[in-house]
Structure 1
Amino acid sequence: MCDPIQNTEVRGLLAAVLEALAIPYPATVGGGEVYDRLLAERAMHATTTLRGVLDHGDDPGWTADYLRARLAEHPPAEHRARGDTEAGR
């Protein structure tokens, strides 16, 4: 078993990337198009921030905050997720 990552900035960046990619699956077949668009936008932002850290030495803590700000522009609430009900909306 690997040791947990101790650097809190790196952990924060990894958590932000996971937050970007781990969005709920759509509740309906028709929701797939919105889901695909949303996931593509969020993945693009995650890729950009990772490249900034790995290729340009950007600060992981600042980059995690930046990524979360971009994710807020593309919230997963844009589509109905499995398990959502009309009453729960």
Structure 2
Amino acid sequence: MTHNLPEPAADLLRAVLEALDIPHPATFGDSEKHARVLEDRVMHTVIALRDVLDDERSALGVEWTTAYLRKRLAEHPPTGYRAAGAPRQNGSQA
């Protein structure tokens, strides 16, 4: 995939995509956990975007904010629910 963006901006956009593009839940029962994970990831993404776009708060720079966003996303991995298309484990049925 090619782009004409400065690399720091492209890296931030990749982090935003990583934050939001998580596997869909496999069942209705998995939706609640999926929603909680996604809400946390969205919150951290919004904070990062505000920091980058706010001239008064952007002193740390895009690179630092992107790294910080990735750290926060690691605290909220898209796990704890069965994802659509994920293989079944130990013969369990979805």
TM-score, normalised to structure 1, is 0.87
Residue 59 of structure 1, aligned match among 51, 58, 61: 61
The residue that corresponds to 2:24 in the other structure is 25
Runs of 4+ aligned structure 1 residues displaced above 6 Å come to: none
- Whole-angstrom distance in 1 between the partners of 2:62 and 2:39: 22
TM-score, normalised to structure 2, is 0.83
Task: Give the count of matched residue pairs.
Answer: 85
Relative to its length, the structure with more helix (as a share) is: 1
The residue that corresponds to 1:73 in the other structure is 75
- Whole-angstrom distance in 2 between the partners of 1:45 and 1:5: 26
* CA distances 1:4-45 after superposition (whole Å, capped 9, x unpaired): 233111111010011001100001110000011111000000
CA RMSD of the aligned region, Å?
1.5
Letter aligned with residue 34 of structure 2: Y
Kindly name which structure, 1 or 2, has the bigger radius of gyration based on alpha carbons.
2
* CA distances 1:27-85 after superposition (whole Å, capped 9, x unpaired): 11100000111110000000000000001224111111111100000000222101121
Q: Which runs of 5+ in 1 are unaligned?
A: none
